[in-house]
Amino acid sequence: MIRPLIVIRRVPQIDFMRWHLYGFAFSILLGVVSIGLFAAVGLNLGIDFKGGLLIEARVNPGPADLAAMRSKIDALHLGEASLQGFGGPNDVLIRLPQQQGGDAAQEKAIAAVKDALGPGIDYRRQEVVGPSVGAELIRAGALATVLALVAILIYIWFRFEWQFGVGATISTLHDVVTTIGLFAIFRLEFNLTTLAAILTIAGYSINDTVVIYDRVREAMRKYRTMPFRDLINLALNETLSRTILTVSTVALAVLSLLLFGGEVLKGFSIAMLWGIVIGTYSSLFIAAPIIYYIQPNRRAIARDAAPGEPERSRT
């Protein structure tokens, strides 16, 4: 007989609602700092958004001497160059700012870099991203994020009640804003993979929130006279084992990407790791407590229960 994996064999009695006001205060502080830094400092936009040159090279034989390569490229006076090792010790990622003079100037800059670095280098990838393409990607990314939040609100509204939709949208928006704030604070490169991570975080967060909300609604049908504060605590404690399992497995996978995925996946991995933590936190201390203040119609939900189903007692 196969036994299910159970982390917590007995439902704990943690009073999550006791700490929800501290959670609100902490989240407001995080949100204000994130928005303030984003407005004042902005993001360290990658080549995908601000335009520029990207060259992926492999040095044979290795390892790559980044200092010597940087010195040769700086002598070309093409702007501030960024060289980063990724993957193996032979692999180098070279970033250069956008050159004046259109596509011809970009191709000329790439050719100059290749000549300066000399033989023995295998150029595996080279990309040129113009500023107009970068601006279009910024608009498309912002639109995708907004549409994702609106879709979440609509889904939760129809899946549950509008009160649940408000809570889910606020908690998901909280996760998105604080993730952007993380990149603004530490000046991490913000590129298309980071944007993909943010949209993934939104999906992960709403999945966790939906599980909790479903347990809240189930408890509202079973315990129709239980104080709503106790009912939310019950739902959070009953889903805690599932939350721990989900967070642990996803975090292990993302941590592997962060440690072994190389420089290319670094931004994506950091965003995902932060998103897992902040998404779980917001489900417990933001999404669930919000519906305590905008309570759904308990009578209407109780009427949806099976006809003649008696109220259960819980001691």
- Per-residue pLDDT tens digits for 134-143: 677 778 878 8
Mean pLDDT, residues 54-68 = 82
Q: What is the amino acid identity at position 88? A: G
| Cα torsion 188, 194, 198, 204: sign | negative
- Predicted pLDDT at 236: 92
Residue 211, C-beta contacts closer than 8 angstroms, at least 6 positions apart: 239, 242, 243
Q: Pinpoint the residues of the chain covered by CATH 1.20.1640.10.
A: 16-43+134-301
- Predicted pLDDT at 278: 92
Pull the structure tokens for residue 115. Answer: 């000549």
Region of 102 (left: φ > 0; alpha: ψ -120 to 50; beta: rest) is left
Name the CATH superfamily for 16-43+134-301: Multidrug efflux transporter AcrB transmembrane domain (1.20.1640.10)
82-88 contacts: CB < 8 A, separation 24 or more? Answer: 84/263, 85/263, 86/262, 86/263, 86/264, 87/262, 87/263, 87/264, 88/62
Mean pLDDT, residues 190-216 = 86
> What does the pLDDT look like over 95-135, one tens digit per residue?
888 777 777 888 888 888 888 888 888 888 887 776 666 67
The owner of tokens 């962060």 is 258
274 pLDDT band (50/70/90 cuts)? very high
**pLDDT beyond 50 at 80:** yes
- Predicted pLDDT at 107: 83
DSSP, res 126: E
| 198: Cα within 13 Å, side-chain hemisphere | 25
**pLDDT beyond 50 at 148:** yes
**pLDDT beyond 60 at 166:** yes
> What does the pLDDT look like over 3-47, one tens digit per residue?
555 556 677 788 999 999 999 999 999 999 999 998 988 888 777
Concatenate the DSSP letters of all residues of 33-67 into one string: HHHHHHHHT--EE-HHHH-EEEEEEEESSS---HH
Q: Which fold has domain 52-129?
A: Alpha-Beta Plaits (3.30.70)
Task: Answer whether 131's CB lies under 8 Å from 92's CB.
Answer: no
Q: Pinpoint the residues of the chain covered by CATH 3.30.70.3400.
A: 52-129
> Shortest CA distance to 215 belongs to which of 11, 21, 19?
11
**pLDDT beyond 80 at 50:** no
The residue with greater pLDDT, 161 or 232, is 232
Share of the chain above pLDDT 70, in %: 89
> What does the pLDDT look like over 207-265, one tens digit per residue?
888 889 989 888 888 888 889 899 999 999 999 888 888 888 989 989 988 888 766 67
1 pLDDT band (50/70/90 cuts)? very low
